[in-house]
Amino acid sequence: MGIAEESSMKTTRFTPSKLNLVLLLLALVAPFVLYPVFLMKVLCFALFACAFNLLLGFAGLLSFGHAVFLGTGGYVTGYLMINTGITPELGILAGTLAAGLVGALYGKLAVRREGIYFAMVTLALAQLAFFFYLQAPFTGGEDGLQGVPRGHLFGFIDLANNLQMYFFVLAIFLFGFWLIQRTVHSPFGQVLKAIRENEPRAISLGYNVNDYKWVAFIISAGLAGLAGSTKTLVFQLASLTDVHWHMSGEVVLMTLVGGMGTLFGPLVGAAAIVTIQNYLSGGELGNYIHIIMGAIFVVCVLAFRNGIVGQFRKVLKQNF
């Protein structure tokens, strides 16, 4: 029944350390070859998508309002960096906690409904937050918070330098990715998967499924906030775009394209979508961006439900 039955226990535990090592090496070399700001954007969205996928792929919960957590993290970090002059690591910590807090509140409400209702509840709650941020005095309304200073990490590493910023962002991403991996493979993660596969059975085994979903929601929201906080530092901007429902849709698309319920899927999906968007917005096709995103959605759902990583794994399993 679950939306991502592809990833049974065995396959998710299959995380080849060689692949991890190669990817890490690539990530270390990449900023010397590619534009660091682009790479940081990919990493931020990858973390966002990984956080979202923890809910959708491993707990079977489709949140259509995850932009709220990205935006909350961004606004809190941006506001603190502009107005208090704290160091960036504290700013990011505050943004992450704030997003986790909103997640605790929203999650408590959302887990009271299931399936399609869960998606509608999260979307509606996100819209509530959107109107709040639109009117609240500290978000800068339509303009957003501009010129957020990146500051000095721990007080002495200047993050205005893109290369130093990149490695900071990479460290954050790796931490988030590691945390998700730990969560998925922990006993807690196994219970989440059990809930995804057969909720009534999980209940009959004595698990309080709503509490499990709630905790998963908080972790996911907090990590989405971490991504938003980091993104705000990278682009020195927190704006309504980040809390708009378009953004909630985008993270769904990234996860879908990459492969739901796979650990690396959201990373691949985020890289693919960010690349496409960057490519489109530069050229004549910029006006067609929403049409193309919508078309990718439709094609993926109709013909490519496993996503890039899921499909790759399927082919690998069939042929080797």
Partner 1 sequence: MATFLGINLFGLFGQLLVGLINGSFYALLSLGLAIIFGLLKIINFAQGAMYMLGAFAAWMALNYFGIDYWLALVLVPLAVGAMGILMERVLIRPIAKEDHLYSLLLTFGVALMLQGVFTHVFGSSGMAYAIPEALQGGIKLPFMYLPAYRAWIVVASIVVCGATWWMIEKTRLGAYLRAGTENAQLMQAFGINVPLMVTLTFGFGVALAGFAGVMAAPVYSVSPDMGSNLLIIVFAIVVIGGMGSIGGAILTGLGMGIVEGLTKYFYPEASSTVIFLVMVIVLLLKPAGLFGKEA
Residues lying near partner 1 in the complex (CB under 8 A) are found at 1-3, 62, 109, 112-117, 119-121, 123-125, 127-128, 131-132, 135, 245, 249, 252, 256, 287-298, 301-302, 305
Phi first, then psi, for residue 104 (nearest 5°) are -60, -40
Residue closer to partner 1 (CB basis): 71 or 91: 71
Residue closer to partner 1 (CB basis): 129 or 170: 129
| Closest CB 141 distance from partner 1, rounded Å | 14
Residue closer to partner 1 (CB basis): 65 or 176: 65
The single residue listed with the structure tokens 């070859």 is 33
- What is the Cα–Cα distance from 217 to 213, expressed in whole angstroms? 6
| Closest CB 295 distance from partner 1, rounded Å | 6
Residue closer to partner 1 (CB basis): 57 or 91: 57
Dmax (CA) of the chain? 59
| Residue 101: other Cβ atoms inside 10 A | 16
| Residue 127: other Cβ atoms inside 10 A | 17
| Residue 305: other Cβ atoms inside 10 A | 15
| Closest CB 37 distance from partner 1, rounded Å | 26
Element holding 237 (H helix, E strand):
strand 237-238
| Closest CB 124 distance from partner 1, rounded Å | 4
| Closest CB 114 distance from partner 1, rounded Å | 8
Residue closer to partner 1 (CB basis): 121 or 237: 121
The conformation of residue 145, written as its DSSP 8-state character, comes to E
Tell which residue, 136, 149, 153, has the closest CA to residue 72.
Answer: 136
